[in-house]
Structure 1
């Protein structure tokens, strides 16, 4: 069984409606969490997100090799589906991390209540 056929079988098991799109969403989140566990870096650091981007690039290069040419609409859709939620999590957690010290410092400045 070649790579494309195997990928389509796995994608069909995950979701029968639009297997490729949802498989990319699940794959991106799975890689993000695995990268978080393996690297022991917070999701608010760019390392886990970079792992997702690197594996997505590798996946699209394998698709290009197997199909013989770039299929730009598919490549763009796959990349958006794979990177959207990991990027949203990264940006949200990054924004929250930057705001947290401000709240802690503000809490220290408040007078103690008895």
Structure 2
């Protein structure tokens, strides 16, 4: 449980230094960073399911920590966290799947 307390302490610090609605701000930006980082580390295109699955694992772990540590945990808040985390990665992923020419390399 020490990890959970350490994690929550650092999240609270980040939230204190973020703009209005800091938890959603952090979910949005960390979601994008984890998704892009997973694609780079795994050497997979952003149109691949694998980086999204990595993001799902990280977000699931984050919500589990919230559930274990937060006194006022609610399902509604968790659902909004999921929306904030996955919105832009899913929009970009879908665009790349629907319009593959967006991902094509161009000759200089």
TM-score scaled by structure 2?
A: 0.81
2:39 corresponding residue in structure 1: 36
Q: Say whether residues 1:73 and 2:71 are aligned partners.
A: no
TM-score scaled by structure 1?
A: 0.77
Structure 2: stretches of 5+ with no match in the other structure:
102-108
Equivalent residues, number? 97
> Which of 75-84 and 60-69 deviates more?
60-69
Q: Say whether residues 1:22 and 2:18 are aligned partners.
A: no
Out of 55, 59, 63, the position equivalent to 2:62 is: 59
The structure having more radius of gyration, on CA atoms, is: 1
Aligned 8 A contact 2:31 2:85 in 1: yes
RMSD: 1.7
CA-to-aligned-CA distance 1:16-74 (integer Å, 9 cap, x gap):
31110110000100001100110000000111111111110110011111126752111
